[in-house]
Amino acid sequence: FNLKDVSDGFNTSHIIHRLEFGERVPGVESPLEGTAKIVLKGAYMFHYYIKLVPTLFERDDGKSQYTHQYSVTGQEKDVLVRQGELAGLPGVFLVYEFTPFMVQKSVKEVPFSHFLISVCAIIGGVFTVAGLLDALLYRTTKRWKGKAHI
């Protein structure tokens, strides 16, 4: 581009409707989806630093789906210092970084027996604590009554 074309500003307004790396998986959000940056004056440089994490989703029906999740940080700067003078290149830049690790997510249903065992454990814990409190109160009142008769 010609510097004379951006002497009074350069419109780098943008809307990111959808950005995915791999297949769309229900429940996985796209952080940049719906991002809108509007430039009214100046010449802006937008940097999006994206960290990609390879992810393997294993469903309970045995099917696997390979995709990427990502996180993003952004930075924006007006590079039009003075009329006709730029301190950088106006535009929208996506900088990618792949992580060397892979996340594996498995969807497993918890059986009803697990719920029943948890309920029994809670009830057993309540009876145990109640028994300990009862024994403590019984011994305490017995000692107080013993001291009162002396």
pLDDT band at 127 (very low <50, low <70, confident <90, very high): very high
SS3 131: helix
Q: What is the pTM assigned to this prediction?
A: 0.65
| Separation between Cα atoms, residue 80 and residue 74, nearest integer Å | 19
Question: In this predicted structure, what is the pLDDT of residue 41?
Answer: 87
Q: What percent of the chain has pLDDT over 70?
A: 92
Whether the CB-CB separation of 80 and 42 falls below 8 Å is answered with yes
Task: Kindly indicate the confidence band of residue 2, based on its pLDDT and cuts at 50, 70 and 90.
Answer: low
